[in-house]
Structure 1
Amino acid sequence: MSAPIVVHPPQGSGGRRVTVHGQIVGLAHDDRDLLEFLRRAGLPDAESLLDDSTWVLWRGGRAHHYEAA
């Protein structure tokens, strides 16, 4: 089973698309944005999940890094 939350690679203009169970929930420019999207998706205590690979898959780029290379 793959992680239900995917933080996709940084886009050229900055920010990372975020999906939860395959559904796009927004474009995060920082961890605050990401946490807000997860709160809206029903995960109010998501802060502790951000570095848990069973919950969050950070694709392309470093975790918690939102600027394009």
Structure 2
Amino acid sequence: MSGYLPVVVYPPDESGGRRVRVDGEILGLAHSTRDVAEFLRRAGLDDITEDDVSTSGMIEWRGGGPKTWPAPW
């Protein structure tokens, strides 16, 4: 895939956030797949959606997949 950038979403930390890294650079701390999609849009993937984040094979999910987020309470 031309222009492919490695994307890694790390396990939740004590606050429930997951670090998002693209091409070796940490973009931020996501608390949902919506946040991951926004970080990826800012990294240049303009047309990525929240559904794309959940189903994309380009994202390496560590510590659980896109449905692994701590409860908000």
**TM-score, length basis structure 2:** 0.75
- CA shift in 2, pair 1:67/1:23, >3 Å: same
Larger radius of gyration: 2
Q: Which moved more, 1:30-39 or 1:43-52?
A: 43-52
Unaligned runs of 5+ in 2: none
Instruction: Specify which of 59, 62, 65 is matched with residue 62 of structure 1.
Output: 65
Counterpart amino acid of residue 66 in structure 2: A
One-letter code aligned to 2:11: P
Contact 2:33 2:53 in 1 (8 A): no
Length-normalised TM-score, structure 1: 0.79
Q: CA deviation at 1:12?
A: 1.3
Q: Percent identity among equivalent residues?
A: 52
Worse-matched range after superposition: 9-18 or 55-64: 55-64
2:53 and 2:59 in contact (8 A); partners too: yes
Higher relative contact order (CA 8 A, sep 6+): 1
Q: Post-superposition, which runs of at least 4 consecutive aligned residues in structure 1 deviate over 6 A?
A: none
Kindly report the root-mean-square deviation, in angstroms, between the aligned alpha carbons of the 2 structures: 1.9
Question: 5+ residue gaps in structure 1?
Answer: none
